[in-house]
Amino acid sequence: MSFSAFYVDVIKLELKMAKRPRCTSLISCMLIIFLFLSNHICALDAYGDGQLPLLLSFKASIINDPSHFLSSWNYSSADNLCNWGGVTCSGDVNSSHISAIDLSGRNISGKLSSSLFHLSHIEKIDLSNNQLHGPIPHDIFTSSNSLRHLNLSNNNFTGQIPQGSIPGLETLDMCNNMISGKIPENMGSFSSLKFLDLGGNVIVGEIPISISDMSNLEYLTLASNQLIGKVPSQLGQVRNLKLIYLGYNNLSGDIPQEIGKLTALNHLDLVFNNLTGQIPDALGNLTELRYLFLYGNKLTGSVPKSIFGLQKLVSLDLSENSLSGEIPELVSQLQQLEILHLFSNNFTGKIPKSLASLSRLQVLQLWSNKFSGEIPGDLGKQSNLTVVDLSTNYLTGKVPDTLCHWGKLFKLILFSNSLEGEITKSLASCKSLGRVRLQNNRFFGQISAEFLQLPLVYFLDISGNNLSGRIDDKKWDMPSLQMLNIARNRLFGNLPDSFGGYKLENLDLSENWFSGIISPNFGNLSELMQLKLSHNKLSGPIPQQLSSCKNLVSLDLSRNQLSGPIPISLSEMPVLGQLDLSHNQLSGEIPRNLGVIASLVQVNISHNHLHGHLPSTGAFLTVNASSVAGNDLCGGDSTSGLPSCKTKSVRKNPTWWFILTCFLVALAAFGVAGFVIVWIRRRKDLELKTVENEDGIWEMQFFEPKVLRSLTVEDIKSAAKQGNAIAIGNKGTQFVVKEDSVNSISPSFWSKMVEFGKLRHPNIIQLIGICRSEKNAYIIHEYCRGKALCQILRHLNWEQRRKIAVGVARALRFLHFSCSPSVVIGCVSPEKVLVDTKGEPRLRLSIPVLTDFKGFVSSAYVAPEAKESKGITEKSDIYGFGLVVIELLTGKSPADIELGSHESIVEWARYCYSDCHLDAWTDPMIRGHVLKNQNEIVETMNLALHCTACDPAARPCANELYKTLESIAKASSCIAAVKLASSPL
């Protein structure tokens, strides 16, 4: 478009929008137009180089300006463009011209007009952090010779990088868009470029060798794309480089020796590629290097000794490779080192003693290697250690007294070694500790009183050791404690009355020598979800007060010497799913109401002195013989292995016999018969039924006999056809019917439906029944008013999203730990999570082990190993959950086109977590919560990345998942340093 034509269009637009008096005659209209043209031609003369129409052309391309930042861009203020928002001018009063346009972070949307690049004196254009989309204009690199700084980062631009070059351009930032194609071969023609960032896009191909022609280049970022090929050895010619970031691509081959020529380099990041070979010895020439990140590759061999001569290193991360050999004492030369990550390799030998001399060291993670010998004796004496993770090695000896010398140690992870000795007094007095895992070692001696009074510890696991002594004679004062595991030790004496706090969620004191009674004070642990006291010598009754633990899901009191009856109050526990009272001395009858607990799915009461009838409800309906053996019980179906209940003679005296007989006859006439009828009717309601109608023979299986007794095939078919919920009973209880493929309901499905239909949990949508004929099949489940998470996720605040994550984790823990056998979903996704009117998540179950797994193998939420082997495990569910959490945090789904620069959303999330500011990856809807909940959000992302680990064994179990989520919010103020850690949960 010519300038004159454009100007006429602008005038038309201005006339259309201006609020002026309506023309009453041709002369008056012409006069108004004349005055209007005169006014703006004067304005144009004031900006004779055409700056005004160029700016208005850009504004015309903007379709949304929510903050009205561009409201000043109009003709009414055309006499001084320098006062327009985001506009900067230079020059004197008589020759003022626009030199910079800064509209960053204004949330404007629309396509990018190239008009700004035609401003004759423009030096800087910053349009970053907006919602601009579409291709980048092809002429932006041929329109201006004055441009020095161009920032288009964090938008939604697509298409390819334009051809051309601006010789004087010093800064080019196009990161975090959706730019595709290859890097132009002539990229090196930007001869003045100092800063180049093309990261976070969908760029393919190889890194062009011409980049080596950018002799002034200082910062090169091509990370998080789909680049292939080798790292160009020609980069060694760009001697001014200070930062190289090529991580999260598919680069292969060796790390070129020529990188060692970049003596000004202070940041080298090649993480998560497919680099092979050894670490070049030449990297030791990078004397200015402060950050060396090579993790997540396939590097082999030992670490060159020259690396330990890089005396300015602040952070060294070589984790998740196949490196081997020993770490030399030369590590003492890294006196500026703050973070050392060598985990998940094959390192051997001893941990260097010289690590103790690193005065700035804060985070030390060497887990999952083959280190042996002792932990350096003075480790921590000269440094402010905050995180130490040496787990899963072959370490021996004692834990040094110096680890918490400066009182900053928060995370101490030493599990699965062969450490011994007593738990040192220095640890017992380390008030900064929050997470302690010392399990599966050889620690002995008593637990000191000081160790039981650490104020910030929320996770304490010292199980699987040789600890002895009493713990009831010490004062417990651990107000933050949520998880305590001291199982598999040699502790004795009574159980403590209190643990110094009421936040405990998981308490495991099993496999010790505890005796005495279970204190009624355990009922005060209102947050308790798992209580395990099995394999001890506890005696006395089960306290009625345990029923006050309304969150208790798993209760294991087996293999003790408990006596008395099973408390009736246990039936008042709303979410109890697993109950094991076996191998005790309990007596009396089983409380009838115990079978009424809807959530109860696993019961073991074997080897006690119980007698009487087995309840005919709930979990007792499907109890197996081993779970009720060793008692004097009767009743149950064939699976229980119990005899049928018969009336026994009370006395041999004929008179008594006559009286008893008469009484029984009368009772049978007026009571027993009715009870039996009701009982049989209820049992039959749960049995597989056949119904014949005009469609043929239907098989029906219900799990709610009280409300579905009157439900007919016609009702089910009608509801499925209309897509409506069925209302049953006086209370209008509603259920939803879904039509399914007959072929998907295999015989194995029917055999497992009884136990599956008995699942009851507040975060799971209950299965009601199933029926099929030769042509049709229907699945019936409870109606839950709400919307699928995928429909409302973008409108939720952080508190709502956190509540959903915790609720789904709670459901998974129930399915994996409280069900026997465990129930695996295989595809946890936002579509399967329904959020009810109270904001509670309800998980829709579709069990692939019971149906056809092939139907959703292609889903992005199915774990990689499941897609490869067509088999699923509990860890497959954890993977899907991790993706859901990533979506809750970022607002982006695995199918989001903005993630095309990465192989998957997991890789994108890892990139963001490691290398981007929080604001760059959190969903805009929750950014207002970031400042207040920063630690919590970071730790939640850390957990999500653990859940989506490629190796299923590296993912946490559902129990740990739930506990960690619950603890994150409560400990968020203490774990700023933990976000750097990535050790196993």
Per-residue pLDDT tens digits for 389-402: 999 999 999 999 99
Whether 390 contacts 366, CB under 8 Å? yes
Q: Is 197 exposed, middle or buried (0-12, 13-18, 19+ CB in 10 A)?
A: buried
Q: b or e along 77-109 (b: 16 or more beta carbons within 10 Å of the residue's beta carbon)?
A: ebeebeebbbbebeeeeeebbbbbbbbeebebb
C-alpha span between 148 and 480 (Å, rounded): 55
User: What are the φ and ψ backbone dihedral angles of 495, each rounded to 5 degrees?
Assistant: -75, 150
The predicted structure's pLDDT at residue 468: 94
Dihedral sign, CA of 671, 677, 680, 684?
Answer: negative
Two tokens, residue 639: 């699976």
> Packing angle between helix 905-915 and helix 874-890, nearest 10 degrees?
60
Whether 193 contacts 213, CB under 8 Å? no
C-alpha span between 851 and 58 (Å, rounded): 56
User: What are the φ and ψ backbone dihedral angles of 756, each rounded to 5 degrees?
Assistant: -65, -40
Whether 619 contacts 640, CB under 8 Å? no
Query: Which residues of the chain have a pLDDT value below 70?
Result: 1-49, 93-94, 646-689, 704-711, 719-733, 740-756, 820, 846-858, 868-871, 897-903, 914-917, 928-931, 969-985
C-alpha span between 103 and 175 (Å, rounded): 17
DSSP strand E in 303-386: where? 315-317, 322-325, 339-341, 346-347, 363-365, 372-374
C-alpha span between 740 and 753 (Å, rounded): 15
List, in sequence order, the alpha helices (H) in 158-232.
none
Two tokens, residue 874: 């509990």
Residue 612: closest CA among 637, 627, 581, 591: 591
> Packing angle between helix 958-971 and helix 874-890, nearest 10 degrees?
30
Dihedral sign, CA of 183, 203, 243, 316?
Answer: negative
**Cα 842 to Cα 115, 767, 789, distances in angstroms:** 52, 12, 10
Whether 541 contacts 562, CB under 8 Å? yes
The length of the chain is 985
**Cα 9 to Cα 14, 37, 38, 43, 913, distances in angstroms:** 9, 12, 16, 16, 48
Report DSSP state, residue 126: E
**Cα 830 to Cα 245, 739, 843, distances in angstroms:** 34, 21, 9
Q: Is 870 exposed, middle or buried (0-12, 13-18, 19+ CB in 10 A)?
A: exposed
Instruction: List, in order, residues 6 or more apart from 684 with CB less than 8 Å away.
Output: none
Q: Is 725 exposed, middle or buried (0-12, 13-18, 19+ CB in 10 A)?
A: middle
Whether 157 contacts 112, CB under 8 Å? yes
Between strands 767-772 and 696-702, the pairing is: antiparallel
**Cα 443 to Cα 73, 462, 567, 729, 985, distances in angstroms:** 73, 9, 38, 61, 21
Whether 95 contacts 73, CB under 8 Å? no
**Cα 319 to Cα 346, 386, 908, 936, 982, distances in angstroms:** 10, 19, 19, 25, 10
List, in sequence order, the alpha helices (H) in 775-852.
789-792, 798-813
C-alpha span between 87 and 230 (Å, rounded): 43
